[in-house]
Chain A
Amino acid sequence: MHCLIVDDDNTSRKVIESFVEQSEDLSLAGSFGNPQKALQFLKKNPVDVILVDIEMPEMSGFDMVDSLQGNPSVIFITGKEKYAVEAFDKNAIDYLVKPVKYDRFKNALEKVQLPDAVSDTKFIFVKSGSVLVKLDIYDIDYVESIGDYIGVHVAGKRYVVHTTMKEAEMKLPIDQFCRIHRSFIINFGRIEQIEENTATVVEKVLPISRTYRKNLMKRMNTF
């Protein structure tokens, strides 16, 4: 995750820079004491998250966020609690009051959700043996859990991938796929028939658990 720090106080900024370096999942794209220079930088260097102070002489952190292009996540880091309401009105992910400790910093960053890569594309790559196979997401019939792996079923073929059902569920578009059991996610477009506790998907009869049945039925278009 690429981040940018904007704070006119060098001491606080240097400490946050060090926190970023300590965090394996973060990389520092830039660090600025002047918000206008940060905005210039961002025009050519988009980032995932911006850590920004509020009271700065050249431009306030709020004004800077209002001028942002794109949609990076914003975490305000400031010396006063009184701006919190306005900060959250500006869709801040979090609001940190100085002095900021490392645990609190990490906790704030954990709230940042990167845009789902799948939402921008209709393809997904799955590893089959030593090659990556490109699949059209909407061609997936269903996904099954196989221990520490999942099986992705497409046109009678099964691709085995080392991941979890939860990960798979997050990557598949929610409007097209539905969890029906702890071991199965199905493509709505491939459902042929639903009975009391089973769904038939491309001639395969799959179980529907009580936990997921209510949600499935709510989403079905029935007479």
Chain B
Amino acid sequence: MLDRDAPIFEVSEEIRNSIIQVYLRDASQSIIEIEGGTIQKEHEVVRKAAHKLKGASATLGATEMTNICRNMENPVMQNMDMLHKLKEAFKTLKNAIA
């Protein structure tokens, strides 16, 4: 589920586990912002939240989340279909690593 070549695998297991908890908490918040921005068509809100979540996901090695967030930085890709993909990817990730 996580790319083992990611930076998170270069820290100790104890720290990694604590960082994963931080990620899950922050990602939930970012997804709420992305959802609100997508519904309201506030492109800059979505872009900023997606950008932040993209960086965190890449650091964690959550490749699918990273790719979806990268797409959602682009206003053209900010739609309900992409939001649904993001939420599904997060749900799968959470089940795998939480």
Contact = CB atoms under 8 A, between A and B. Distances in A.
A55 B48 CA distance: 8
Query: Chain B interface secondary structure, helix, strand, loop or mixed?
Result: helix
Nearest to B49: A57
Contact of A9 (B11, B12, B52): B52
Interface in B47-62: 48, 51-52, 54-56, 58-61
Interface string A9-39: 1111011001100100000000000000000
Contacts, number: 65
Query: Chain A interface secondary structure, helix, strand, loop or mixed?
Result: loop
- Interface size of A as a range: 20 to 34
A70 B22 CA distance: 33
B55 A19 contact: no
Given A8-B52, A14-B15, A99-B6, 16 more contacts: A9-B26, A9-B52, A10-B23, A11-B8, A11-B22, A11-B23, A11-B26, A11-B55, A11-B59, A11-B60, A12-B56, A15-B59, A22-B11, A55-B51, A99-B55, A99-B58
Interface of A: 8-12, 14-15, 18-19, 22, 53, 55, 57, 79-80, 98-102
